Structure 1
Amino acid sequence: MDAAMPALVGEGLHKGFMPKGAKRSVQAVADVSLRIPAGRLSALVGPDGSGKTTLLRLAAGLMRADSGTLQVLGIDVAADPQAVQDRISYMPQRFGLYEDLSVQENLDLYADLHGVAKDLRQARYARLMEMTDLGRFTARPAGKLSGGMKQKLGLACTLVRSPQLLLLDEPTVGVDPLSRRELWQIVQQLVDDERLSVIVSTAYLDEAERCAQVFVMHEGRLIAEGAPQAIRDNAQGLCHIAKPPPGMAARTLQARLLDAPASIIDAVPQGGDVRFIRRPDADEAALAALFDGMPVETVPARLEDGFMVLLRSKHPQPAMAAPQSSPVAAAPGAPGEVVIEVKDLVRKFGDFTAVASTSFSVRRGEIFGLLGPNGAGKTTTFRMLCGLLPASSGFLQVAGVNLRHARAQARSRVGYVSQKFALYGNLTVAENLEFFGGAYGLRGARLRERMQAVLDQFELQGQEGATSGQLPGGFKQRLAMATGLLHEPEILFLDEPTSGTDPLARREFWRRITALAEAGVTIIITTHFMEEAEYCDRIVIQDAGQLLALGTPQQVRVQAGSAPDMEQAFIGIVTQAREERART
């Protein structure tokens, strides 16, 4: 390929879809023109439903544009999609590993599918196994790998034929920070050593910061493009850090700022403080009243700050203003009362110990985070707390009920939102609410009352007749939350609820969670977004079934040598524990 030739050139691209039950088509890509350079790492970023995946599928020759022209590696995709597919590799969000096959058998299968010559395979396999650190696991079934290892195997299978262009659709969704770092090291090595052209869509703006070019999409349109610095410049001079007074949680100050759209563009907890973007035209007196004497300092803009300024120019009001009412009644019991108690909790699967002698407690109205690398045991712990999985031994009490003996009774007092959209995609929004309301024992007028309450609270009015499987990602998340809160639970379990969502949707989600905690609802959450640990009152970090850290985010950062943020604290604590295990 000519080094001067762009990896991708699109002119006036349009692609529409007619969702089931809809009266008009939705423009997934609308009049997009872009030029992506070869031999570099480029990122597509934007809110859920902005058209990133559709654009990648058009580039991969899996879809045909309704109008416009698209050239990939100098080839007209519409005229010869097979010629493009022979030269590229595409890793979709749900890459198709064969879980019953071993790591080696998956590699062999993809090599066969791509026609990789037998004499080339061994050298290529050896390099891929070295890059991904999977060489020790070639005989292990893919289904037995952790989430991060599966993603690395998916990337290895994608690269088994040495493509000229690599398309990655959110490759690190659901992957812990350590595995994310390793995946990006692999991709960067390919770009540096082989001048491979890589186009990646991502919900993580710190990942896009690594790229040479960033393309920002919104509602199917390209609204900005350039080097990361060019996107950051949109927020330059507007970014500040505020230090909450003693006794005020960072999330409380964040909520106050988000509820002041005339003065504030964005706000997010950071290292115990709150990072915010003020409006250029904000009234100084109004700003001073918001902070009421708190220390405020100016800081350089990040890519995410510039991204949020661009999105707020399209959505002038915050996605979530202060809730007018809570979607649940005030939780019974005294604030600070212990509602979850865990002592010496153990879960074994045969000879394998997934959770080893874990102990902690959670108080009413607390936001409690379970963190850990993929395969660390946090999901097993989470499922035991929900009553979905029995413990092998130990004491576990939730909402006053001993889960070793009465799991069904406890489940009636908790709500659950799973990592993957677990509602019935072929049912409408209203039908899902009716079904789950009935499962929770709600009937007649009470069911109708609760349905209306959650429809109002989660801004789903007008969507009652929409097929839930066709909803955009942000609306699916709202519907999942609405069903989990229909029966007004005391405790809400959230399993990676923001996985794959953009920063705008995450702000909306956490504004709602803050309101729930203020109403006395206890929140237990797992997440791979380390910035979200800053919303928690306390967190646990687990790895290899062992509890490595327990405390407030500040205490955990101190344990990690006063790390500046939770991501570095997490990586430091887990890495140190693994090094100590390796020495024993």
Structure 2
Amino acid sequence: MTSVTPSSSLSGGDDAIVITDLVKRFEGQHVDAVASIHTSISRGTITGLVGPDGAGKTTFLRLLAGLLQPTSGTVSINGINPFTQSDELHEHVGYMPQKFGLYEDLSVIENLTLYADLRNVTGAEREQSFAKLLAFTDLTRFTDRYAGKLSGGMKQKLGLACALLGTPQVLLLDEPGVGVDPISRRELWKMVRELAKGGITVLWSTAYLDEAELCDDVRLMNNGTILASGAPQTLMDQMRGRCLHVSGITGHRRDVLRRALRLPEVMDGVIQGRNVRLVLRDVSKRPDMQLLDAGLDAALSEVAPRLEDAFISALGGGPGGESVLASLMPDLNKLNSSHDQNPIPVIESRDLTKRFGDFVATDHVSFKVARGEIFGLLGPNGAGKSTTFKMECGLLKPTSGQALVMGNNLKDSPSKARQLLGYMAQKFSLYAQLSVQQNLEFFSGIYGLRGNSQQKKIAQMLDAFALQPYLNTPTEKLPLGFKQRLALACAVMHEPQVLFLDEPTSGVDPVTRREFWTHINGLADKGVTIMVTTHFMDEAEYCDRIALIYRGKLLALGTPDDLKRKVATEQRPNPTMEDAFIELVLEADQ
């Protein structure tokens, strides 16, 4: 990989960023967005900034970038005050916002040229910078491609290249890995590690805790303050003895997880392959195996802590295992019991194929999904996953083959099939200018709800997703986690039998992800059939089965453990889902 290093030597002490009692309060708000932060960031390191949605991470980064004025406190970046020395700051700091401002109707080279103009990078320096950055990000072959035609990973690489113009000494990255598949995220990480080796100081905001484990240092934020800081391993070591696997489970893992999360000694829990992973409040108080009711062969064993465990512990625990949303849904298992003698697949793909000109996006993909199953559709950016997904929920017509829902061919009777399904889009699809209540009224009306039944359902959704405080708030002003809650609420108001979720937790923090999966698990137990796409490999563990799509073809199909077994070796007997994803794709390339 071509290295990129700062153009000027670094001077001063060991800290590139020094923050003292930093406060930001927005007008009309009673709570500080950033509340008296006092910390420092070491020079030439990668520091992870981790926190739940609304913790203040983006506001904090915008303050450091000089885009916001603080209410009080001071910041020094390489000896520069970002609030009074903005011209000097731009020579030292590169900033990549969460929604990076690439112009999708400009090519890669045109975007670079625009940002070079803005940063006053001209002449020979510009040509050298372009050559170096294009080689560094492996975008040299794509200079004439429009930014809007790039994959998610390539867009992030271009965003990083634009932020590096002028060779900054400090790089501020606001969730650069959101919406990016594990392979592209790993490539992005290698690039940033190379930058840090060259002396650049990186502050990386992230919702991926496995990503934060790779940082030299982390800051765990909540409610505008830093709850904990230190090296990831130091924070993880504090959780030793509190992290357990429930293995040898008889029956359904979802039931065991729900029972475990009811116990006061259990702080958090997730499904991990065939096991259930628990985090305890106290190392000395283990759960009663009889209360878990996991089967005669079930056993508890200690496992190594993860940074996510320390994160959840710092926040006081996870959201619990009961879904208010699921309690409001009818039990489809009872409604459909008369058809169980000859059950048809709820979702079916028969040789599904989609061509765009000469390009085959989906190539003869076939699978079946049973009622109440959580079926994961995984694949790298640009692999055909989203195309397959959109055909299955009726948003794209296949070139050949069939997409069926409850036996209805979406090509022949799309309206009949669509009444049976709910859909939550990858990119937030509600009306940004409408309030929460107006969106709920609009979408419930589309699904045929009227009068008292409509008002009752809206009230239930407001309660289930804690949206009442935001009732009259324009959707565009909601925190990301509440936007996602509203999108899910709108997708399930008509009590669908089938639910399509396209990256429902992209960009949200681990607590909100757990809340979503509590709802998803609860809905599946009520007989709702769920197809979900995700780039969080830990989330894929919740799926009953997974289809891995690559280059338009079905690369692998099976349970999460089936896929992990495919890549297990003597050197790596217990691979993660991310290991399985990457290895299976690399094997296909070879």
Normalised TM-score (structure 1): 0.93
For 1:330 and 1:470, how far apart are their aligned partners in 2? 35
Contact preservation (8 Å) 2:266, 2:287? no
Local SS of the residue matching 1:235: coil
Mapping of residues 156-171 of structure 1, within 5 Å: 156-171=161-176
Asked if 1 retains the 8 angstrom alpha-carbon contact of 2:273 and 2:542, the reply is: no
Secondary structure, aligned partner of 2:455: helix
Q: Give the percent of matched residue pairs that are identical in Structure 1 and Structure 2.
A: 49
Report what 1:382 is aligned to.
389
CA contact (8 A) 1:493 1:525 kept: yes
Alignment gaps of 5+ in structure 1: 580-584
Task: Give 1:290's match in structure 2, choosing from 271, 289, 292.
Answer: 292
Task: Specify whether residues 515 and 393 from structure 1 end up closer, same or farther in structure 2 by C-alpha distance, changes over 3 A only.
Answer: same
1:548 corresponds to 2:559: no
User: What is residue 252 of structure 1 aligned with on the other side?
Assistant: 255
SS of residue in 2 equivalent to 1:356: strand
Q: Which residue of 2 aligns with 1:327?
A: 328
Match of 1:416 among 420, 423, 443: 423
Question: Conserved in 1, the CA contact under 8 Å of 2:433 and 2:476?
Answer: yes
Q: Choose from 167, 175, 180 the match for 1:175.
A: 180
Paired with 1:139 and 1:291, the residues of 2 have a C-alpha distance of 60
The alignment partner of 1:173 has SS state of coil
Secondary structure, aligned partner of 2:328: coil
How far apart are 1:368 and its partner, in Å? 0.6
Find the counterpart in structure 1 of residue 216 from structure 2: 212
* Match 2:531 to one of 524, 528, 531: 524
SS of 1:86's partner is helix
Structure 1 residue 131 displacement after superposition: 2.3
* Equivalence for 1:8: 17
* 3-state SS, counterpart of residue 349 of structure 2: strand
The residue type paired with residue 452 of structure 1 is A
Aligned pairs (5 A) from 1:324-403: 326-331=327-332, 332-334=335-337, 337-403=344-410
Change (3 A) 1:82 1:369: same
Equivalences, count: 569
| Residue 582 of structure 1: aligned partner | none
Superposition map of 1:38-53 within 5 A: 38-53=43-58
Counterpart in the other structure of 1:188: 193
1:318 matches 2:319 = yes
- How far apart, in 1, do the equivalents of 2:13 and 2:159 lie? 30
Distance 1:470 1:328 in 2: 29
Deviations 1:346-389 (A, max 9, x none): 11111111111111111111101110000011111111111111
In the alignment, the residues of structure 2 paired with residue 285 and residue 138 of structure 1 have an alpha-carbon distance, to the nearest angstrom, of 57
Q: Distance in 1 between matches of 2:168 and 2:504?
A: 34
**CA offsets 1:432-479 (integer angstroms, 9 cap, x no match):** 111111111110011122222222322334443333332222222221
1:440 to 444, 447, 465: 447
Q: Secondary structure at the match of 1:535?
A: coil
Q: Which amino acid counterpart does residue 135 of structure 2 have in structure 1? A: E
- Work out the CA distance in 2 between the residues paired with 1:498 and 1:105: 32
Distance 1:557 1:363, change over 3 A: same
Q: CA 1:333–1:282 in 2, change beyond 3 Å: closer, same or farther?
A: farther
Unmatched runs of 5 consecutive residues or more in structure 2: 1-9
| 3-state SS in 1 of match to 2:25 | strand
Residues 143-195 of structure 1, C-alpha deviations (whole Å, 9 max, x = no match): 21111111111111211221111110000000000000000000001111x11
Secondary structure of the residue aligned to 2:391 is helix
Q: What CA deviation, in whole Å up to 9, does each residue of 1:388-437 have, x standing for no partner?
A: 11111111211221111122221111111112222223322222111111
Contact 2:112 2:162 (C-alpha < 8 Å) held by counterparts = yes
CA 107–317 in structure 1, closer or farther in 2 if over 3 Å, else same: closer
Match of 2:492 in 1: 485
Structure 2 SS opposite 1:181? helix
The residue that corresponds to 2:242 in the other structure is 238
Question: How far is 1:225 from its partner?
Answer: 1.0
Q: Which residue of 1 aligns with 2:462?
A: 455
Helix, strand or coil at the partner of 2:433: coil
Alpha-carbon distance in structure 1 between the residues aligned to 2:318 and 2:357:
53
1:475 to 482, 493, 506: 482
Deviations 1:492-542 (A, max 9, x none): 110101001111111111011100000000111000001111111111111
2:195 alignment partner AA: L
Q: Which amino acid aligns with 2:373?
A: E
Deviation for aligned residue 1:78: 1.8
Inter-CA distance 70–285: structure 2 relative to 1 (3 Å threshold): closer
Letter in 2 for 1:259: R
Among 245, 263, 272, the alignment partner of 2:274 is 272
The structure-2 alpha-carbon separation of the partners of 1:190 and 1:233, relative to structure 1 and needing over 3 Å to count, comes to same
Q: CA deviation at 1:133?
A: 1.8
3-state SS of paired residue (1:375): coil
1:135 aligns with 2:140: yes
Aligned 8 A contact 1:328 1:489 in 2:
no
* Partner SS for 2:134: helix
Write the distance in 1 (CA, Å) between the matches of 2:344 and 2:265. 37
Report the AA paired with residue 515 of structure 1: G
- Alignment match, 1:221: 225
Q: Distance in 1 between matches of 2:447 and 2:31?
A: 35
Q: Is the 8 A contact 1:99 1:143 kept in 2?
A: yes
The answer to whether the 8 A contact 1:60-1:90 is kept is yes
Question: In 2 relative to 1, CA 302–285 (structure 1 residues): closer, same or farther, beyond 3 Å?
Answer: closer
**Counterpart Cα distance in 2 of 1:108 and 1:77:** 25
Q: Say if 1:237 and 1:140 are closer, same or farther in 2 by CA, change over 3 A.
A: same
Query: Are 2:38 and 1:33 equivalent residues in the alignment?
Result: yes
Deviations 1:298-322 (A, max 9, x none): 122221111111111xxx6735535
Structure 2 CA distance for aligned equivalents of residues 502 and 45 of structure 1:
8
